[in-house]
Amino acid sequence: DGGITQSPKYLFRKEGQNVTLSCEQNLNHDAMYWYRQDPGQGLRLIYYSQIVNDFQKGDIAEGYSVSREKKESFPLTVTSAQKNPTAFYLCASSMTGARQPQHFGDGTRLSIL
């Protein structure tokens, strides 16, 4: 079955450490997205990519970085510059353009040790 796989499900970060969240999709979608979800805040866009080797900042990109070297993969790195990284991170993909349904992964919950 096609879908989006996020790993790990739970992740713990130490102070000053960079961590990378994995997102892989086999839906043959061109567009991929990273969202951060905090209680009562909805989904906030971190980065998005409409095509391989290209990506754009969302509304809360500071302290995060991404790469899009392959169509299937869109990893997110939470850097030490992100001072409040504790949140639920969701990856999504869609056919090209923002007027297509987005398919979400099951998320990664990141906590600070």
Footprint of another protein (CB under 8 A): 35, 40-45, 48, 50, 56, 58-59, 90, 97-107
Least Å distance, CB 76 to another protein, is: 16
The residue among 91, 94, 90, 76 whose CA lies nearest residue 30 is 94
Looking at the Cβ atoms of 80 and 107, the one nearer to another protein is 107
Per the DSSP assignment, residues forming a β-bridge with 54 are 51
- Shortest spacing between CB 73 and another protein, in angstroms: 18
CB nearer to another protein: pick between 41 and 84: 41
CB of 11 to another protein, least distance (A): 16
Give yes or no for a contact between 35 and 98, defined as CB atoms under 8 angstroms apart: no
Nearer to another protein, 82 or 102 (CB): 102
Contact at 8 Å (CB) between 103 and 93?
yes
Backbone angles phi, psi at 65, to 5 degrees: -145, 155
Nearby residues of 43 by Cβ (< 8 Å), 6 or more positions away: 35, 36, 37, 90
Cβ proximity to another protein, 5 vs 18, nearer residue: 5
CB 106 to another protein: min, Å:
5
